[in-house]
Every structure is written in structure tokens, then in C-alpha cells.
């Protein structure tokens, strides 16, 4: 039977190559994701192995609020602690570190590096013997001098001796570049370094450090840590250098794990779509060789041998597809690294993991998809070889309809339970539910296809004459095959439609929120990390046409023992800017007050006058009094804490935004504000329209990114349509010959194949978009209380997708139609 398998592979090269394309694309996604994340993990490991190599113990503030992931609200370490550490036996060269946000302005007047959602702009104090080396110039020695990493200088067209602006949380400072720093690969981040006093003034507070690191004179890290801990204040802690590095690696590993899982989810979607194509291809190949397989049974081949022969073909396709997919995955990983810019300059890392998973996924999916057609082939009785009308046994559609209905209902239930659940990870039940719905709809598709294809095919039959009528009859002839072909396209377009409905809903909901909840004339906010500099508020207040400007702050605290975010600032101004509806109490919050929304008050049993225990990031606690309760506000959040209380517990408050009212709002006032803030390139001025536009751009970027990832599944589905039509043309060779014999022209024949392809593609698109709209509506309904209050269906976009599906049908039919049109009539008629 091995020879039979090899002969069949050689006889059906083109058909199996098309099947292998589905395996290649799916495996490429898996391999590319694994190779890319392995490569990035190695780069991070190399980065962290270089940083802090000589640190034995690090002293820092205890982390009170677990939500403070970026450390922006962490309390600094007083310089007095550094003095005390010098007297501890075993401590070697203790150094105070200062770090924070600092960005460099290039020759073009723009901040070097990506300010929005890009690599960080890091500012530090320069210490000899630190993690970085000077590549040119000298160390900074005063408030007007700065070091810049060499790559940032190159991007900003800056050199040693140039004067540039440095943007920090304080006033922008003009500084002279006195040296360049060799940072190796900082993954695209920018680095600036100042002398310690300047760094404290610009990024922290004079007399404070972010942390203090030290070496050891021979004492173990654990022992030195214990010695250091004895001289520390209660709100400080000592950790070993090894633990410090492991924490940093752990944070990156968590991020990369999420990224890997995110991409693998789309890879699995592609493989899932590909499995329909593989199943369909082997079903048709086995159906076309029914008599051949029956003859094998007649001359003595056992059922198991016939099954293994077909499975052998699947294994061969899986091996070839996995090998080519692994190679394509390396190319995909390289392309992803290129898109990362400076962060992707470390080259690719190859481990055994991508290889193992590529072959495991490619072979297993192919074999499982081919197993059921192989089993059906083995059930053909030997006597059937003597008949001309031998065909594969088909199960009743009743069982299929019952099982499909059950899976669809169960999947819908899982999705509903996942979206409505208050605890746990909703991704698991939602993902399982979506999978069940897709399988269920795919099982129901043969029944659904008959009425739908009649409707979709009616205009073609009426307008295109005989080719249109024949195309509709061909599509209706084998509902199972039509459904299996369309199912692949259905899944891809269902997910793309869901993403687009969700995107349109987000845009509509944001527009409604801004209209209903934004009452200020302008909002001044940071365009990226680092917050708003201290001098911005004064500049805004002094701008002609501005009647009021109120800074707002965001913070983290532990309230009732749980991590919680809050807003702070001038509460009456915040209430006016957010159009807050006060249901009880008022905005007279005083120096120790807190306001909460109705849901928070109800959940905790609070009312006006209730005392709320709040532990701030400095470790100290206060009991704040509830002074007011307001209706839910998506712009403000659940809590507002008095500005005085926030500042009592924050050494270096950082403004999040400034709400601005104008005596004569309009283009002139906005222009005046932008002119007043020209020295702050990290700050932008927004009115209601630009707030909406910024939000739309972010949503559009998110939708585009997800759509691009899902396009792979649509490409695989298009390959499936090509494969099905090509095999269908071969299957109908004699029929095509007869059609040519009775007078149908080559052009009409090609048109018939194209129209059949378009009908199948449109059926998949209509089914997929219907499911996608239903999924999108379910998500909106479940997240209505989380800010998605308006359901919006992008009808124009869906119409475009329908046209794209028709184009896919046309393109998919080009080769099969060409092949059908060039058949020799006499040879076709004589084909058995």
C-alpha cells in the first residue's frame, strides 16, 4: 500500500500542492510567532544580563499599590538612607539612582522616538561604573549638560557640542550635549543622563533617589540584604540583585507571553480554516477515486490498508506543508522584527520549540482532517467496484442538523455565560463558545445553503442565461461540498465583521460619551508618557481668551483593601468639565474628602458622610469622608479624591491633563494655546472634535491591526475555493465535454465556473457577516455598562466586504475556468 500512496501522490501533485498551501500558511503563522517571541526574549535576556550586573542589593520603597506597574507613583528613597547604608558592614560603593521621563528634541523640533505607545524615553543620573559606557565626550558636570545615547543622537541629527531641548516633568531645559552613551540594544528606548543633582531636580525631587544599589565586599547577597534591612525605615525594603533582575525579566516574560498567546490565537484561526480546506480536498479526492479504492478492496486490500493509504497521503502533505511553513515562518518573524524598528535589531533565534510545534500542528491537523474521508473510503464494499455509479456512503443530514443545532446553541450559551460572568477569564468560555458556534453553523451549512444559494443564484440565472442557470445548479448539486468550501470563508469574514462592528460601536459610543460628558472647551494633555510639565498650567492660564484652567491628576491607592484608581484636582472644575450629575452631597470636598459614583457607593454601602480608609503609595493611610455621589462617568471614573490629600502623599505630583474654559472658544483661542505651548512638543491641545478624532484614530488602528491578522484566514479560504473548483472541474470532465458537444462555447463555460465560484464566495460572506454582526451585537450588549452603550453596524464596510468576496470568487475561478475551457471535447466525453 506504500507504493499505492506514492503513486497517488505523484498522480495528484497539483491538487495536493494546493492543499499544502493551507498547511503552509497556517504553520507559517505558528512558526513565525514562536520564532519572533523567542528572538525577542533572547534580546531582553541579553539586555537584562548587562544591566545591574554588579548590584548585590537594591534598596527601594515598598510597593503598596499593586496596580502601580510602571513605578510612576512609587515613593522615592531619601538621601539620608544612602548615608546610613555607607556604615553597614559588607556594603560596597552604594549609589543612588534617579530615573524618570526625559525626552530629547531633535533638529526638526520634534521629540526623538515614538511618543505615543512606543518605546520609553528614559532619563537617569550618570554614575561612574554604571551599566553604560561613554562612546564619546565626557560626563555631565552641571545643570546645563546632558548625555544622549548614540542612536537617539543619530535619529535627531544631534552631535557632541550641540544644544538641544530636553523635556521632563518639569520645565523644558536647554542643554548642551557633552557626550554620547553606548547603550547596546535598548529595544528602541531613548536614554538621557544628567549629573545627580540635575536629575533629581528635573525628574524627582532634590535630596531623593528612585532607588539605591550597592555591591558586596564578599558577603552573600542574602546576608547583605538582611544586614541592610535592619537600618532601613519601615516603608523601605532591600532586595537582592538577583531578585531585582528576575523581577524585570518576569515582567517582560509576562508581556511577551501575552503577545505570543495573542498571535497564536490568530494562527489557530488560520489552521482551523485550513482544516476545512484539507477535509474538503481529501473528500473530493477520495470521491473521485471511489472505483479505484473499491477495486483495491476487491483484490484483497483490507479496510485498514485503504485508510492508511489515504492517511499516508495526508502525512506527506503535512510534512511538506510543515517544512515550507517553517521556512515561511522564519521570513514572517524577520518581517515582524523589521516592523519593530530598533527593538528588532538582534537577529532571529532558532530553538527546537518552533520546529516541534510546526510539524506537530501541520501533520496532526492534516491527518485529522483527512481521517474521516479515509474512513468513508474504507467502507466501500468490494462488489461496488463492479458498478459504474459507485459513490461514497453519505450520512443522513438529520443527524448533522441535530448535532449542528445543539453545538450552535451550546456555543451561544458559552459566549453568553463568558460575557456575563463577573469573575474568571472570560476569554476561555467565549473562545470555546465561538469555536462551537462555527462548528455548529458549518454542520448546518448544507441545509442553509440550499435556500440561500437559490436566492443568491436567482439574479445570475436571470441575467446570465444558461451559464448562470448551470452555475446555480452546480452550486446546489452537492450542498455538503458547497457548505464546506464556504465555511472557510465564513469563519474569516465572521471574525473580521465582529471586529468591525465592535470598532464602529466603540467609535459611536465614544462620540456619545464626549457629547454627553465633556463640558470644557479644551483639554490639554500629554501626547505620550511623562505627564505634563509643571510650567504648562501657568502658560495655559496666561493665554489670551482662557478664562479658567484646572490641572487634574490620576493616582492609585488601596481602598477597602483593594487596588483602586482615582482622579484628583479642582473638584468643582472637574465636575463642570465632565458634566457630572450629582445625586447626593456636593463638590465641596475639602482637604480630606472623596466622591464616588453610584455603583461604587452601592457596592460598598457608602453614603454621604461615610468614612473610607485609603492607603496611599507612600504606605500611609487616611480616612476620607464621602462628600458626594454622582452618576456613572466614563471620563472621570469611579472616584475623585481631594487634591490636598493626593499631594500629601505624593512627593512628585504629575499632571495628567488640564481642563480649560475660554471666554470666546474657537479657532483663534485654540491657536493661541498651541502657540503658548510650542516649547512643549509632548503636549497637545484638544477640543471636543479633536478628542473624537483622536479616539477614532486609535480605534481605527486597532481594527486595522486585527483585520490584517485575520486576512490570513481569508487568503487560506480563497485557496480552498480554488482547490474545490479545480477538483470539481476534474470531477465533471465528461459533463463539461457533453456541454461543449451540445454547443456551449468556451467563454460560456468559463463564465459558468466563475459564477459558481462567486456564488460560493457570496454564500460564505453572507453567512460569515451575519454571524459577525450577531457576535458584535452580543459583545456590545454585554459591555454596555463598560462604555459601549451604542450599537453601530458599519453597513458601508460590510458592503465592501461583500464586493471583496465576489472578487475573491472571480480570482479563485481563473485557473479552474481556464482549465475547463481548454479541455478537448472528445477526450472529455470519453472520460469515465
Taking the CA atoms of 778, 779, 781 and 782 in sequence, report the sign of the dihedral they define. positive
pLDDT(315) > 60? yes
pLDDT at 499: 92
Say which range, 39-48, 231-240, 548-557, 661-670, has the weakest mean pLDDT: 39-48
End position of a domain, from candidates 241, 276, 303? 241
589: three-class secondary structure by DSSP: coil
Residue 428 lies in a domain: no
Residue 655 lies in a domain: yes
Provide the pLDDT confidence category of residue 638 given band limits of 50, 70 and 90. Answer: very high
Condensed to tens digits (0 to 9), the pLDDT of residues 190-206 reads: 889 999 999 998 888 89
Say which range, 216-225, 369-378, 741-750, has the weakest mean pLDDT: 369-378
pLDDT at 69: 42
| Same domain for 595 and 461 | no
Residue 72 lies in a domain: yes
150: three-class secondary structure by DSSP: helix
Residue 436 lies in a domain: no
- Label the pairing between strands 593-597 and 621-630: parallel
| Same domain for 676 and 528 | yes
- Label the pairing between strands 103-104 and 91-97: unpaired
State the helix-helix crossing angle for 352-378 and 13-50, rounded to 10 degrees.
150
Total number of domains constituting the chain:
4
Residue 761 lies in a domain: yes
Pick the more confident residue, 769 or 735.
769
Q: What is the mean pLDDT of the chain?
A: 84
Percent of the chain topping pLDDT 70: 89
| Same domain for 225 and 87 | yes
How far apart (Å, rounded) are the C-alpha atoms in residues 695 and 523?
Answer: 14
Residue 422 lies in a domain: no
| Same domain for 228 and 161 | yes
pLDDT at 220: 94
End position of a domain, from candidates 376, 394, 412? 394
pLDDT(78) > 60? yes
Task: Render 724-746 in DSSP notation, one character per residue.
Answer: HHHHHHHHTHHHHHHHHHTT--H
| Same domain for 697 and 579 | no
pLDDT(743) > 70? yes
Provide the pLDDT confidence category of residue 70 given band limits of 50, 70 and 90. Answer: very low
| Same domain for 713 and 660 | no
pLDDT at 535: 79
Condensed to tens digits (0 to 9), the pLDDT of residues 388-422 reads: 555 555 566 788 888 889 999 998 888 888 887 66
| Same domain for 491 and 622 | no
Residue 381 lies in a domain: yes
How far apart (Å, rounded) are the C-alpha atoms in residues 705 and 157?
Answer: 31
Mean pLDDT value of segment 446-460: 89
CA distances from 792 to 385, 515, 780, 781 (A): 58, 17, 9, 12
| Same domain for 818 and 694 | yes
How many C-beta atoms surround the C-beta of residue 253 within 10 A? 14
Domain that holds residue 620: 522-686
pLDDT at 185: 59
| Same domain for 370 and 468 | no
| Same domain for 500 and 536 | no
Provide the pLDDT confidence category of residue 72 given band limits of 50, 70 and 90. Answer: very low
Amino acid at each position: 500500500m506504500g507504493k499505492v500512496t506514492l503513486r497517488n501522490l505523484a498522480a495528484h501533485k497539483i491538487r495536493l500542492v494546493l492543499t499544502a498551501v493551507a498547511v503552509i500558511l497556517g504553520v507559517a503563522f505558528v512558526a513565525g510567532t514562536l520564532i519572533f517571541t523567542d528572538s525577542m526574549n533572547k534580546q531582553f535576556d541579553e539586555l537584562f544580563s548587562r544591566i545591574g550586573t554588579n548590584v548585590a542589593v537594591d534598596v527601594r520603597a515598598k510597593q503598596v499599590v499593586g496596580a502601580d506597574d510602571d513605578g510612576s507613583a512609587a515613593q522615592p528613597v531619601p538621601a539620608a538612607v544612602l548615608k546610613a547604608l555607607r556604615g553597614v558592614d559588607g556594603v560596597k560603593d552604594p549609589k543612588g539612582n534617579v530615573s524618570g521621563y526625559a525626552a530629547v528634541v531633535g533638529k526638526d523640533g520634534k521629540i526623538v522616538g515614538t511618543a505615543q505607545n512606543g518605546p520609553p524615553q528614559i532619563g537617569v543620573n550618570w554614575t561612574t561604573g554604571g551599566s553604560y559606557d561613554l562612546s564619546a565626550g565626557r560626563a555631565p558636570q552641571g545643570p546645563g549638560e546632558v548625555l544622549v545615547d548614540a542612536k537617539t543622537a543619530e535619529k535627531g541629527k544631534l552631535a557632541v557640542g550641540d544644544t538641544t531641548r530636553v523635556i521632563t516633568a518639569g520645565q523644558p531645559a536647554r542643554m548642551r550635549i557633552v557626550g554620547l552613551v553606548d547603550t547596546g540594544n535598548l529595544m528602541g528606548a531613548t536614554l538621557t543622563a544628567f549629573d545627580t543633582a540635575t536629575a533629581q531636580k528635573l525628574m524627582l525631587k532634590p535630596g531623593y533617589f528612585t532607588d539605591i544599589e550597592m555591591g558586596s565586599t564578599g558577603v552573600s547577597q542574602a546576608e547583605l540584604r538582611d544586614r541592610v534591612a535592619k537600618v532601613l525605615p519601615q516603608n523601605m525594603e532591600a532586595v537582592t540583585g538577583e531578585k531585582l533582575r528576575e523581577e524585570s525579566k518576569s515582567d517582560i516574560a509576562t508581556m511577551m507571553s501575552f503577545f505570543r498567546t495573542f498571535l497564536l490565537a490568530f494562527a489557530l484561526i488560520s489552521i482551523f480554516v485550513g482544516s476545512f480546506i484539507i477535509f474538503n480536498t481529501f473528500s473530493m479526492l477520495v470521491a473521485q477515486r471511489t472505483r479505484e479504492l473499491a477495486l483495491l478492496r476487491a483484490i484483497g486490500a483490507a479496510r485498514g490498508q485503504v485508510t492508511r493509504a489515504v492517511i499516508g497521503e495526508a502525512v506527506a502533505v503535512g510534512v511538506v506543508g510543515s517544512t515550507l511553513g517553517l521556512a515561511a515562518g522564519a521570513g514572517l518573524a524577520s518581517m515582524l522584527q523589521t516592523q519593530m524598528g530598533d527593538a528588532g535589531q538582534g537577529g532571529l533565534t532558532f530553538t527546537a520549540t518552533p520546529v516541534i510545534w510546526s510539524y506537530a500542528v501541520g501533520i496532526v491537523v492534516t491527518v485529522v482532517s483527512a481521517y474521516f474521508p479515509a474512513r468513508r473510503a474504507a467502507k466501500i464494499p468490494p462488489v461496488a467496484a463492479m458498478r459504474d455509479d459507485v459513490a461514497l456512503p453519505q450520512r443522513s443530514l438529520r443527524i448533522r442538523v441535530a448535532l449542528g443545532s445543539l453545538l450552535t446553541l451550546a456555543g451561544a450559551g458559552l459566549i453568553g455565560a463568558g460575557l456575563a460572568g463577573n469573575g474568571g477569564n472570560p476569554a476561555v468560555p467565549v473562545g470555546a463558545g465561538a469555536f462551537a458556534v462555527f462548528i455548529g453553523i458549518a454542520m448546518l451549512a448544507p441545509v442553509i445553503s440550499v435556500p440561500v444559494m437559490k436566492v443568491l443564484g436567482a439574479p445570475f440565472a436571470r441575467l446570465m442565461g444558461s451559464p448562470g442557470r448551470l452555475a446555480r445548479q452546480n452550486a446546489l448539486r452537492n450542498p455538503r461540498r458547497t457548505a464546506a468550501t464556504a465555511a472557510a470563508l465564513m469563519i474569516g469574514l465572521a471574525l473580521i465583521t465582529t471586529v468591525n462592528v465592535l470598532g464602529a460601536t466603540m467609535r459611536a459610543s465614544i462620540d456619545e460619551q464626549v457629547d454627553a460628558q465633556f463640558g470644557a472647551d479644551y483639554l490639554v494633555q500629554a501626547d505620550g508618557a511623562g505627564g505634563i510639565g509643571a510650567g504648562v498650567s501657568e502658560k495655559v492660564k496666561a493665554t489670551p481668551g482662557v478664562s479658567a484652567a484646572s490641572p487634574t491628576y490620576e493616582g492609585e491607592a488601596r481602598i477597602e483593601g483593594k487596588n483602586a484608581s482615582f482622579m484628583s484636582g479642582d473638584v468643582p472644575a472637574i465636575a463642570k468639565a465632565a458634566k457630572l450629575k450629582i445625586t447626593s452631597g456636593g463638590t465641596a470636598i475639602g482637604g480630606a474628602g472623596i466622591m464616588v459614583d453610584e455603583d461604587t457607593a452601592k457596592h460598598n454601602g457608602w453614603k454621604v458622610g461615610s468614612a473610607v480608609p485609603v492607603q496611599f503609595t507612600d504606605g500611609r493611610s487616611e480616612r476620607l469622608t464621602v462628600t458626594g455621589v454622582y452618576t456613572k462617568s466614563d471620563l472621570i471614573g469611579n472616584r475623585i479624591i481631594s487634591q490636598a490629600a493626593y499631594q500629601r502623599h505624593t512627593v512628585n505630583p504629575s499632571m495628567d491633563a488640564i481642563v480649560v474654559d475660554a471666554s470666546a472658544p474657537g479657532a483663534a483661542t485654540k491657536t493661541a494655546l498651541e502657540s503658548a505651548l510650542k516649547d512643549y512638543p509632548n503636549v497637545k491641545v484638544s477640543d471636543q472634535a479633536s478628542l473624537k478624532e483622536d479616539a477614532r484614530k486609535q480605534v481605527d488602528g486597532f481594527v486595522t491591526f486585527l483585520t490584517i491578522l485575520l486576512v490570513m484566514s481569508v487568503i487560506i479560504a480563497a485557496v480552498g475555493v480554488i482547490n474545490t473548483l479545480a477538483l470539481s472541474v476534474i470531477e465533471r470532465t465528461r459533463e463539461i465535454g457533453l456541454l461543449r458537444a451540445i454547443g456551449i462555447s468556451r467563454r460560456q463555460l468559463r463564465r459558468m465556473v466563475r459564477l459558481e465560484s462567486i456564488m460560493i464566495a457570496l454564500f460564505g460572506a453572507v453567512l460569515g457577516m451575519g454571524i459577525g454582526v450577531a457576535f458584535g451585537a452580543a459583545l456590545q450588549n454585554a459591555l454596555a455598562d463598560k462604555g459601549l452603550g451604542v450599537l453601530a453596524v458599519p453597513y458601508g464596510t460590510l458592503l465592501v466586504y461583500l464586493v471583496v468576496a465576489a472578487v475573491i470568487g472571480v480570482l479563485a475561478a481563473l485557473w479552474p475556468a481556464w482549465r475547463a475551457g481548454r479541455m478537448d471535447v472528445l477526450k472529455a466525453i470519453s472520460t469515465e
